[in-house]
A and B are shown apart, each in its own frame.
Chain A
Amino acid sequence: MQNSIRTPYDRVVMAVPVTIPYVRYSIESAQWWMGRALKALVDGAGITPRDIDGFCVSSFTAGLDSGIGLTQHFGLCVRWVDTIPLGGASAIAALRRAARAVQAGDARIVACVAGDTNHVDSFRYTLENFSRFNQDAVYPYGAGGANASFALIARNYMGTFGAKREDFGKIAVAQRSNALRNPHALMKTPLTIEQYMLARPIADPIHLFDCVMPCAGAEAFLVMSEDVAASLKLPAVKILATIERHNAFGDDPVQVRGGWAMDVDELYAMAGVKPDDLDFVQTYDDYPVISMMQFEDLGFCKKGEGPDFVRQHDLTIDGSFPHNTSGGQLSVGQAGAGGAYLGVVEAMRQVLGQAGPTQVKHARIGLASGFGMINYDRGLASGAAILAGAGA
């Protein structure tokens, strides 16, 4: 195992995992959803908005507002602000940046928030205005909304490594079974592998249950020093290691790996743990094929062994490899940039022992990852963090 030369996140912690329960469609604005999350943060921490001096925000649907406009909207007077437009990698990036700001003393308590609304036309608007490459070279092909992009990636992955639809199905079905224990999950009915296989095709080989459901919701957490958390009597989550990488492996003709593969050794070296030491994993699951790729790229098996790894493991909460214990985006819903936070916030609950019905027994240490921004033909942003509870 290599050694990390990076400064550890000593004495910096995360606290107060917040989820504002999702709804399929909302007539409220993104600002409304973020406002609810901020309120839940201050209530949960027993502080006032004036105690927040750092603010980090991610949203696709906040219109013209970035973090700075939102400070006035929410009455926050901060000395550190960040707006992170990294889609599914936003939460990992937020946590990394906020932790360093706290560590350096630039901020004392940072509120990290992601919230999105979902009006009946929000999703289309997001598709139409996603990025320049997307607008120039993907959306005109009827291929907006990532389904087609992931279909091209999934078909190539299946052909190259022998993954079958049943393997992707096993991931989706396990997550649904986890979601049935999560009262906040939008999907409330069981899913069988037969139903998965018979679902209507969306963009071959992507079928209905490979896709997430866009919805409205918000997720949030606080980042602060260990001392501040102790003085507020808040259960604290330790940050053992993080990685972040963008536009990796650009020469791969079709995406078969994400940026994690470039930095995974560093991730475990910094944390001082091995993949086997983890009690659970929350991958970014906009499609099961991406979760399978992460099993490889995050070191649980070798490249190409993802399908076999899935076949050999039980991915449910009580299984041999507890994965996306909340149900993940596939079964909870994708609340825009909130989707990036879903796994991180659930990981916080797990290591704090606050996950309730989805709690993995004796969970002390776990991994959450992010992936985002299908700018053209591949996801550009990736990140991961290893988090631990007090006992670890």
Chain B
Amino acid sequence: MIEPIAKPRRKNPLLRTRLPTSPPRARSRASHGFTRAAAEGRFMLQRCGACETFCYPARDACPACLSADLVFTDAPRRGTLLSETTLHIPADVHFRERAPWRVGLVAMECGPKLVTHLHANCEKGKPVVMSFQLDKSGQAVAFAHPERETSNMADDRQWREMTADPKFRRALVTNGRSIVGQEVVAALKAAGASIVFVGVAEPWKPFRGEETLRGLEGVQIVPLDIGDEKSVADLAADIGGKVDILVNTTEHVRSGGLLDRQGTSVVRDEIDQTYLGFVHLAQAFGPAMRMRGSDGVNSAAAWVNILSVYALANWPMFGAYSASQAAALSLSHSLRAELRPGGVKVVNVFTGPLDIEWFQTVPPPKVAPRAVANAIVSALKRGLEDVFVGDVAEDIRQRLAANPKAVERELGA
């Protein structure tokens, strides 16, 4: 039985902010197969292509037949908890300040044995369901869950270290004018966020959905124009110390590639909003978030980018837009590395064309703004890093894995 976590009280300004510490980060190259699995919320193990043996930890040769053909494949998640221990005096600083901490040894039904973090409801001798998670170092670790749903399951102390659950956290959604922004606000509130700050540029100009937004309890509209460095810095000076989750819902979509546009003003706007806007946000809010990665129940936890899946492969119909998204994607990887010492996750949510005005001419399937919002909350609750929303995004992901050249030619056809 897990006690529900309590809503954190106002922070005592006289107390020092605990600085984040990282669990051990070093991994072998092969082991990053688990990092990939954890980032996407999959459970993958190495399986031998020759003799089909599953193995763990990550190897470079099969322990059953010495084949080098070890492939990370989705694997059955069930196992049995063979033994468990509670660490009272771990050697490592990160775990020492989190002790007592439970770990166990799980025998997977498919063969391998996994040393794993344990959800509090896992019992010795009982079945468990495994996942790989990104811990505060950003690296993959095994996590054992009880076989069935238990009460207040998501409030488990060890599980919450692996996730960026919005419950009792404070979020900033950068663009309240967009439908996606409004849906994200609603989804975060529904997931238990204590406050959602919503950025609106030039707030005196009315917008659709404004009344509903203003009527939501725990939602504060704040002035924010992310293309304007001063506007972003001013807001950060005001609320930067209490943004635990930042969702960048910037939306600047214009069709066209290079040859049919006159001059660079449209491209410049795209870069101002998408790329420089990201830079402004990161420089203004990133340092405080990194500093607050261990700041209790409402520690800084995640930065979310909504990116077009065409950041991964240029779609010439929206060619310059795709390039601005690619720039933001590249920048997100820098931000991810820079926030990692704070244990703050950078979640990239890749979508196909959204069902919004700017994609009016694009044929279905299109992604409903609410689906994006739900995917964001789900990713935060599950601690994911790379999420693909909708059929088009999933289609591009799979095709890129199969043959990137074919994707380039076909998108440009």
Check if A and B associate: yes
CA distance A145 to B95 in the complex (A): 13
Q: Pick from B78-86, B243-251, B285-293 the stretch touching chain A.
A: B78-86
Q: Are A203 and B107 in contact (CB under 8 A)?
A: no
Q: Which residues of B contact A155 (CB under 8 A)?
A: 83-85, 124
State the Cβ distance, B187 to closest chain A Cβ, in Å. Answer: 32
Instruction: Mark interface residues in A151-164 (1 if CB within 8 Å of B CB, else 0).
Output: 11101100100000
Q: Are A377 and B105 in contact (CB under 8 A)?
A: yes
Cβ contact of B82, chosen from A127, A143, A151, A253, cutoff 8 A: A253
The answer to the question of A292 belonging to the interface, with a C-beta cut-off of 8 Å to chain B, is no
Q: Which residues of A contact B135 (CB under 8 A)?
A: 140
The answer to the question of A138 belonging to the interface, with a C-beta cut-off of 8 Å to chain B, is yes
Q: Are B91 and A254 in contact (CB under 8 A)?
A: no
In chain B, positions 97-154 with a C-beta closer than 8 Å to chain A are 98-99, 101, 103-105, 107, 113-117, 124, 135, 137, 139, 141-142
In chain A, positions 205-259 with a C-beta closer than 8 Å to chain B are 205-206, 250, 253-254
Query: What is the predominant secondary structure among interface residues of chain A facing chain B?
Result: helix
Instruction: Mark interface residues in A334-360 (1 if CB within 8 Å of B CB, else 0).
Output: 000000000000000000000000000
CA distance A128 to B28 in the complex (A): 13
CA distance A213 to B92 in the complex (A): 17
The answer to the question of B66 belonging to the interface, with a C-beta cut-off of 8 Å to chain A, is no
Q: Are A142 and B23 in contact (CB under 8 A)?
A: yes
CA distance A205 to B84 in the complex (A): 10
Q: Which residues of B contact A250 (CB under 8 A)?
A: 63
Cβ contact of B28, chosen from A132, A147, A153, A202, cutoff 8 A: A132
CA distance A147 to B24 in the complex (A): 16
Instruction: Mark interface residues in A289-331 (1 if CB within 8 Å of B CB, else 0).
Output: 0000000000000000000000000000000000000000000
CA distance A317 to B314 in the complex (A): 78
In chain B, positions 20-39 with a C-beta closer than 8 Å to chain A are 23-28, 31
Q: Are B27 and A203 in contact (CB under 8 A)?
A: no
The answer to the question of B88 belonging to the interface, with a C-beta cut-off of 8 Å to chain A, is yes
Q: Which residues of B contact A139 (CB under 8 A)?
A: 24, 26, 92
Q: Are A152 and B104 in contact (CB under 8 A)?
A: yes
CA distance A140 to B28 in the complex (A): 12
State the Cβ distance, A10 to closest chain B Cβ, in Å. Answer: 38
Instruction: Mark interface residues in A119-152 (1 if CB within 8 Å of B CB, else 0).
Output: 0000110011000110111111111110111011
| Residue of A with least CB distance to B98 | A142
The answer to the question of B400 belonging to the interface, with a C-beta cut-off of 8 Å to chain A, is no
Cβ contact of A141, chosen from B88, B117, B124, cutoff 8 A: B117
Cβ contact of A142, chosen from B31, B56, B87, B104, cutoff 8 A: B87
State the Cβ distance, A103 to closest chain B Cβ, in Å. Answer: 33
Cβ contact of B24, chosen from A133, A135, A156, cutoff 8 A: A135
The answer to the question of A204 belonging to the interface, with a C-beta cut-off of 8 Å to chain B, is yes
The answer to the question of A201 belonging to the interface, with a C-beta cut-off of 8 Å to chain B, is yes
The answer to the question of B89 belonging to the interface, with a C-beta cut-off of 8 Å to chain A, is yes
Q: Are B85 and A204 in contact (CB under 8 A)?
A: yes
Cβ contact of B115, chosen from A132, A137, A159, cutoff 8 A: A137
Interface extent on A, as a size class?
A: 35 or more
CA distance A153 to B27 in the complex (A): 24
The verdict on A156 contacting B28 (CB below 8 Å), with A202-B89, A377-B115 known, is no
Cβ contact of B23, chosen from A140, A200, A204, cutoff 8 A: A140
The answer to the question of A376 belonging to the interface, with a C-beta cut-off of 8 Å to chain B, is yes
| Residue of B with least CB distance to A201 | B88
Q: Are B84 and A152 in contact (CB under 8 A)?
A: yes
Q: Are A253 and B91 in contact (CB under 8 A)?
A: no
Cβ contact of A140, chosen from B82, B83, B89, B139, cutoff 8 A: B139
CA distance A144 to B91 in the complex (A): 7
Q: Which residues of B contact A141 (CB under 8 A)?
A: 95, 103, 115-117, 141
Cβ contact of A254, chosen from B83, B89, B99, cutoff 8 A: B83
Q: Which residues of A contact B115 (CB under 8 A)?
A: 137-138, 141, 143, 148-149, 152, 376-377
Q: Which residues of A contact B25 (CB under 8 A)?
A: 140
The verdict on A137 contacting B24 (CB below 8 Å), with A155-B85, A201-B86, A254-B82 known, is no
Q: Are A136 and B58 in contact (CB under 8 A)?
A: yes
State the Cβ distance, A201 to closest chain B Cβ, in Å. Answer: 5
The answer to the question of B49 belonging to the interface, with a C-beta cut-off of 8 Å to chain A, is no
Most chain B CB neighbours (cut-off 10 Å) among A127, A135, A143, A254: A143
Q: Which residues of A contact B58 (CB under 8 A)?
A: 136-137
| Residue of A with least CB distance to B27 | A136
Q: Which residues of A contact B28 (CB under 8 A)?
A: 132, 135-136
State the Cβ distance, B87 to closest chain A Cβ, in Å. Answer: 5
State the Cβ distance, B184 to closest chain A Cβ, in Å. Answer: 32
State the Cβ distance, A389 to closest chain B Cβ, in Å. Answer: 41
The verdict on A135 contacting B83 (CB below 8 Å), with A140-B139, A203-B88 known, is no
CA distance A205 to B86 in the complex (A): 8
**Sampled A-B contacts (26; CB under 8 Å):** A128-B26, A132-B57, A135-B28, A137-B56, A138-B115, A139-B92, A140-B24, A140-B25, A140-B27, A140-B135, A140-B141, A141-B95, A141-B115, A142-B87, A143-B90, A143-B103, A145-B90, A149-B115, A151-B85, A152-B84, A156-B83, A159-B83, A203-B87, A204-B86, A254-B82, A376-B115
Binding site for B on A (CB under 8 A): 123-124, 127-128, 132-133, 135-145, 147-149, 151-153, 155-156, 159, 200-206, 250, 253-254, 376-377
Known pairs A137-B56, A155-B85, A159-B124 / 7 extra A-B pairs, C-beta < 8 Å: A136-B58, A140-B25, A142-B23, A203-B85, A204-B85, A205-B85, A253-B82
Which are the 5 A-B pairs with shortest beta-carbon distances? A142-B95, A151-B85, A137-B57, A142-B90, A152-B83
